[in-house]
Structure 1
């Protein structure tokens, strides 16, 4: 029995829409890997070949590349479904796999191929935002799981190309939240990787400047424990800033050292990429003249004032402004 439920659904991307649509194939690159059938049929052998061909690849890239290549050759079966979003016409193309793996050395780039039969070409507006988000995966080749039924349902003769509004599409909010959280994770990783010690102090000073504060960075190696001094304008209050790039949570005693450096009328600001211990958070709550900012809150400020950051830091954290659909909240 060959029901849709027994068939797997795969998603794929390409930079060559014409190849897929005109030649009725799906394909992936990695030309230097050669004929994948000449590699022993296990992931370790694929990994060994990948590391040899691409010796400078990072560990994560190796794992992703090997996984996609192996799945394309061995996990995909004739009769499986494939979903391909084409950029040239903004369509969702759904088909079935018609052949085993084919190595095409004459192809310009996409030498790893399989024949497909395209069954339907539908506008993107026919699908929920969640379904579109899933096939917008960052990977070139992947399994479609969460919204497989929606794509298979589109093959039914009774399927209507109805535009799904954000009012009816519960996945819109989840999709937007996923994008935002992924962006925040990315920013924190970039900061943790590139900004340690004095470099993080310089970044925080730049962010405060972007927020409208006048800042001066303390001389390195000073005994005061104050990294940055900031003013909103020419007049008091003075804001004393301490910055920590350590991985562990900030302890109460560390914040108390900032309090000890403050004079009457001063305000304190403590910035960390990590978080605060419970006792440290209790201390912050009991001393309102000191504000603590953790990694998550720092990222929120970066997103809010990103356009005012120095070009140096915008290059370090390259972001693009996009508009994300949000669900309508109705009381």
Structure 2
């Protein structure tokens, strides 16, 4: 690794799934502009092309987006480091840019401009400080990571333990700042992300695996089910059994597998839960992380199976927070706030 590599953050939408990881790239969109590699390597040229392709775009957003495109195509160098926080699985992916950009007209997600990446590591979000997660929560598509550069580099090179020299100031930094509406939306999204990170970190650090099963059973009861935790020694892959009737004699019966982990759950573990199901029984798999693509495909083909990932689990907690017992509200001290519900810009 270079002595002091530039570290970039890149955002892509949740709909891309794990394609950037499998394909070894990160990408940017603006599909109406066509092949961005054909635009002159000048910020003003990018601004002009953007204004033509998107005539309704706010004037304040044009230099921001043009700056992201210009950086992606002309400031990234081979050996620079990329941090890509994946929305689909709550993983922070860190890699090394190969320094080659290309136009990919048939990209299924309309991220038509790719930078090729050698992925070096994939880490759950709970392994990073909240302050570092806030920095990569930038609403910009492309941005430099400065304050927590060492923390991210240290994940791929444990020998990095001290602060690195700061990089030169970016003369366009003020121009690349988001406009007021975009900044407001960004603040709202950041508040939501911070809450999810907080809830998952607390459950990971404050509960054992069996205590997490107790919490899941209690959450199901808050949702109107009757639930019980199975004995530790003989659960057979089923941690909680839930049902709608008081005695648990009437179908449907829900068998729940709980995993207090943030690493991806594979198809083998999901199949184990499916193997326990009998007539009139449904399977619910709950984790604090995500699921692999084969596991997700399995869910789509099995009507009696439901997979709940970390983001969905947090939503369940928030929707039923007022019904939680005092001990769990003490574990997860939250208060209701109101944030602007503006359209994503």
TM-score normalised to the size of structure 1? 0.48
Normalised TM-score (structure 2): 0.46
Larger radius of gyration: 1
